[in-house]
Structure 1
Amino acid sequence: MRVVIAQCQVDYAGRLTAHLPMAKRLILVKSDGSVSIHNDDRAYKPLNWMSPPCTLSVREPGADEAATTADVDPWVTEVWEVTAATGDKLQISLGEVFHDSSHDLGIDPGLRKDGVEAHLQALLAENPDTFGKGFTLVQREYQTAIGPVDLLLRDPHGAYVAVEVKRRGEIDGVEQLTRYLELMNRNPLMGEVKGVFAAQQIKPQARVLATDRGIDCVTVDYDALRGLDNSEDRLF
């Protein structure tokens, strides 16, 4: 990972356009090629980013760039151009650089789920019909280039279904599954991969975002899966 702290201006052009005026920011370049720009708040969420696959090239600033852009000082030292496979472009104009270092983080062991979430994933793997009649398990922890998908299933028609399992379903989990689906749907051997967001409780905002992105939501009854909640014993 490369960590850069510098004065920078950021311009994004693609499905939408965005502009960040010159300011001091953190830039992360990861080994997968992704580039993200952060300020000193917003927790983990970047101000702008480019997801892989993408390419990064560095060039000297043109004489007309500093002259025609009001908020770029003439002391711009270099310009980074990040181009995605879709043609979207992220241009980062660097001014003064305060820190620039690279670090090999090695292989990450991955997120260790808490006991309930890990057990929930195992129970769903044993009961794929929770998602519908005819669903079958292909693999647990299906590895992608950006992390493991909790469950990979096939629906009754043979189509692949990627399932993200959470104890508490929030927007972050939907974003995570979206990234997996974007990558998996580029694999011509898999065809169209559908997504399912499964959790014991799903927040309304997460459900709205999932629906907007064509991801199904399934609320899971943990006790019922464990066999502790027998519907025949209920009064109501």
Structure 2
Amino acid sequence: MRLVIARCSVDYVGRLTAHLPMAPRLILIKADGSVSVHADDRAFKPLNWMNPPCKLREETGKWTVTHGKTGEQLILTIEEITHDSSHELGVDPGLRKDGVEAHLQELLAEHIATLGEGWTLVRREFPTAIGPVDILCRDQAGGTVAVEIKRRGEIDGVEQLTRYLELLNRDPLLAPVRGIFAAQEIKPQARVLATDRGIDCVVLDYQALRGIEPENPTLF
């Protein structure tokens, strides 16, 4: 990974256009080719980014990142670089879910029709530049759906799914992609945030997915 701290402005040119005025920012250039631009807030979400496959061309005072499939560009106008270093992180072991979450994912993938009649599984752990999406599937109409699974659904899970959706919707082969936030229990604040962002919420019955009939059947 390469870390660059620079005073720069950023322009995104493509299906959407966006401009960040000149300011000090952190630029991350990862081994997979992805480039992201960060401010000193927002915790984890970049201000703008380009996902692989893409190519970085560095010129004096100007860096251009071009997506290999769409041709969209991230253009960084560099006024000053105050730090530039590279670090070898090696292979990441990935996020390990707890046993219940992992089993929920496995069970829902096996019984994807739980989400709707005629739904089909595309893949579990669908890879993206910022981590794997728990389940990618298609609804009865053939639309792409990303599913984030939690044992307990809270706001950070909705934020995680939002980032995945922003990323997946940049891929013309998948877009438009809608999201489902699935959990055994969903906190009210998380449900409000999800609804505001157009994300559906589904409460999962762990025992029913395992084929064990509940004593008091419920609808979700």
> TM-score normalized by structure 2?
0.73
Structure 1 SS opposite 2:9: strand
Does structure 1 residue 231 correspond to structure 2 residue 219? Answer: no
The answer to whether the 8 Å contact 1:8/1:92 transfers is: yes
What CA deviation, in whole Å up to 9, does each residue of 1:29-50 have, x standing for no partner? Answer: 1122221121222111122222
Q: 1:155 to 1:199 in 2, by over 3 A?
A: closer
Q: 1:154 to 1:50 in 2, by over 3 A?
A: closer
Q: 1:107 to 1:157 in 2, by over 3 A?
A: same
Q: Distance in 1 between matches of 2:125 and 2:12?
A: 34
Identity, % of aligned pairs? 51
Moved more, 154-163 or 100-109: 154-163
Aligned to 2:173: 186
Q: Distance in 2 between matches of 1:136 and 1:6?
A: 46
Does structure 1 residue 209 correspond to structure 2 residue 192? Answer: no
Larger Rg belongs to? 1
Q: CA deviation at 1:194?
A: 5.6
Structure 1 gap ranges (5+): 61-77
Structure 1 SS opposite 2:197: helix
Q: 1:162 to 1:11 in 2, by over 3 A?
A: closer
Q: Distance in 2 between matches of 1:10 and 1:193?
A: 26
Corresponding letter in the other structure for 2:35: V
Q: CA deviation at 1:100?
A: 0.9
The answer to whether the 8 Å contact 1:162/1:181 transfers is: no
The answer to whether the 8 Å contact 1:198/1:220 transfers is: no
Does structure 1 residue 173 correspond to structure 2 residue 186? Answer: no
Corresponding letter in the other structure for 1:81: T
Q: Distance in 2 between matches of 1:154 and 1:112?
A: 25
RMSD over aligned Cα atoms: 3.2
The answer to whether the 8 Å contact 2:118/2:140 transfers is: yes
Aligned residues between the structures:
206
Q: CA deviation at 1:229?
A: 3.3
Q: CA deviation at 1:3?
A: 0.6
Aligned to 1:2: 2
Q: Distance in 2 between matches of 1:45 and 1:30?
A: 15
The answer to whether the 8 Å contact 2:33/2:51 transfers is: yes
Moved more, 199-208 or 105-114: 199-208
Q: Distance in 1 between matches of 2:120 and 2:48?
A: 38
Structure 2 SS opposite 1:231: coil
Does structure 1 residue 59 correspond to structure 2 residue 47? Answer: no
Aligned to 2:92: 108
Q: CA deviation at 1:179?
A: 2.5
Aligned to 1:18: 19
> TM-score normalized by structure 1?
0.69
